[in-house]
Every structure is written in C-alpha cells, then in structure tokens.
Copies of this chain bind each other. A is one copy, B any other.
C-alpha cells in the first residue's frame, strides 16, 4: 500500500472507513464535522481517553498491528469496565509520520474495530494528523452506566474484602520477554507467546464490572499502573488502608513457571508489573463469599480475595509471616520510574 503522504488525508480516511462497521447507535459517522450518536435515556455518560505512543507504550517491531489496535481500544474499554459501565462509542485520533505505510494503519483499524465490536462499542469518528517521528493512537471512549450503580474508587470501607479478577503479573512478564528475546529463548515457545499475548491483547472485564456495579461492590479500579499503585489509588480515594496477603495474589501457572525458569520474582511482577487490565475491587465482608461465586460464574472469570481494607491508611503486605509496608511501586508514566 502507499504511504499516507501519497494517499493524502481524504484518501486515508476513506480507506480506514472501510474497516469501521455501521452501528445503529451512530446516526452519522465519518464524513461530517462531527459524529452524531443516538442518545440513551436514563443513563449517565462515562468518558475516558488513553493514548498509545510508539516506543513508550509499544514497539512497532514487536507487536502485530492488529493486536496494537486491539490493545489501544482495550485499555480504554477497561476504564469503562472499572466504572461498571458499558462501552458505547469511540473516537480515534491517529497521529503518524507522512511516510507511514497505509497498510499498517489499516491493520491497526482492523484491531480497533474487532475489540470495539467484541465489547459492544461503535467507532463513531476520529481524526488523522501528520506528525514527525512516531505513531500515536489516541482514543476517547464514551460509555454509559446506571446513575445509581457506579463503581467509584472512593467507596471502600474498613473491613471490606479486597478482591481481584483473573490473574496478575503475566502481562508484565510478557513485556519482559518481548524486550529480552534471549530470556524468552530459554522457555517453551508456547508459554512465552501466551505471556506476550497477555501484554499485547488484554481482555478488559466489562461483564465483571457491570456485575459488580449491580451487586454492592464498594469500590473498583482496573489494574493498569500495577497492583501496588492501583490499590493505593483506592485507599487514597477512600481514605482507608489495606492489608494484603502476598500468597493470595492470583498468579497463573505459566507465570509461576516462567518466573522460576528465569529466576525472577513472580511476586514482584504481580505487585508492581501493571497492564493486567483486571479489576481490583472491594466488597462488604459479609457479601464476599456468595458474591465471588456468583460473579465468577456470571462473568466467566476466576475471582480471588487477597486482603482486607483497614482503617489505618498504611498499605501492608504480609509475606511468609513478615509484614512490610508497601512503597509507591506502581509505574509512573511520566517519570518512567517504578
């Protein structure tokens, strides 16, 4: 395919439009000054935006462009899931150098559409801009939720159970393997690929989020910065602390195996790795047992209780009988430091 400079703005928009499926929600999509979306009665509107920038959030030479599109959409869908909402419509802002191959953007759009469709969102419009040096996919996603059933970060109360969907840390192991091919060569190919795919193609927990919003969860966040950082967000917003049992952190069999092979700490990856896009949430203690069983079935995902909310605002981790105070270990996007 030609470069975007050869095709021009209007030609590129025409090509990418072919990848976008019509939706009954979108009354007027690409092709006017703004998209027009049919409104839904009796809901509040949720809105989030997140950008994926080349060489910061992804490396073009390491990720399949279809997965890159999926991932860029999925990280936004995960934010809507963490509010207990339903994805509704997205706007895609593509910023790319003039020499970018249109085929690359075309494949990214295939991934964007696939992910949006899987989770019930429509691509309503967007923008393309020429920039020097690198590719950026910047997405704004709008969702909807019942006004009376929102999952905020701020409702956790002392005594609440702290729980998490799925497993944590595999995405960070995947990123490590992606960036260290010589380490990846030491473990079974299929296992390495599974970890890397966890990093490249996250599966946001929309069904779990909606279940939690409807069933008295007191707070929720998606694990994007890393468990240690994200539990802190809940504690700060709720003015509480947390006591975490390290041994309860749900680590997948693949992850335990890979960490063991590479002699790296699975616990550390699980605590501070980030980009799992699982839901970390709190529930009243007395609801926990029944709720976890129902949620697990309703949303088809394992759910694990890993600790308890405390009145004192420290975040403590119990491991092998020792209690340590958790430092600010999550990923800080700007300073690039743990």
Interface residues of A (CB under 8 A from B): 4-10, 12, 27-28, 31-51, 53, 55-57, 78-80, 82-83, 85, 89, 91-93, 95, 98, 124-134, 136, 138, 140, 142-143, 145, 150, 152-154, 220-222, 237, 332-336
Contacts and interface: CB of A to CB of B under 8 A. Distances in A.
B142 A36 contact: no
A51 B8 contact: no
Contacts of A44: 27, 36-39
A66 to B, nearest CB: 22
Contacts of A35: 46-48
A91 B47 CA distance: 8
Given A49-B127, A125-B49, A129-B56, A153 B32 contact: yes
Nearest to A52: B129
B53 A334 contact: no
5 contacts: A10-B332, A32-B237, A34-B47, A48-B127, A131-B134
A170 to B, nearest CB: 21
Contacts of A31: 153, 237
A138 B49 CA distance: 10
A332 B4 CA distance: 11
Most buried by B among A53, A92, A140: A140
A150 to B, nearest CB: 6
Contacts of A9: 332-335
Given A8-B334, A32-B152, A51-B138, 13 more contacts: A5-B335, A6-B335, A12-B334, A28-B150, A32-B83, A32-B154, A39-B43, A49-B92, A51-B129, A129-B334, A131-B134, A132-B133, A133-B133
A47 B83 contact: no
B124 A47 contact: yes
Contact of A33 (B43, B48, B57): B48
Contact of A333 (B38, B129, B153): B129
Nearest to A10: B332
Contacts of A80: 33-34
A53 B92 CA distance: 16
A91 B49 contact: yes
Given A55-B132, A98-B336, A332-B8, A48 B34 contact: yes
A5 B129 CA distance: 26
A108 to B, nearest CB: 16
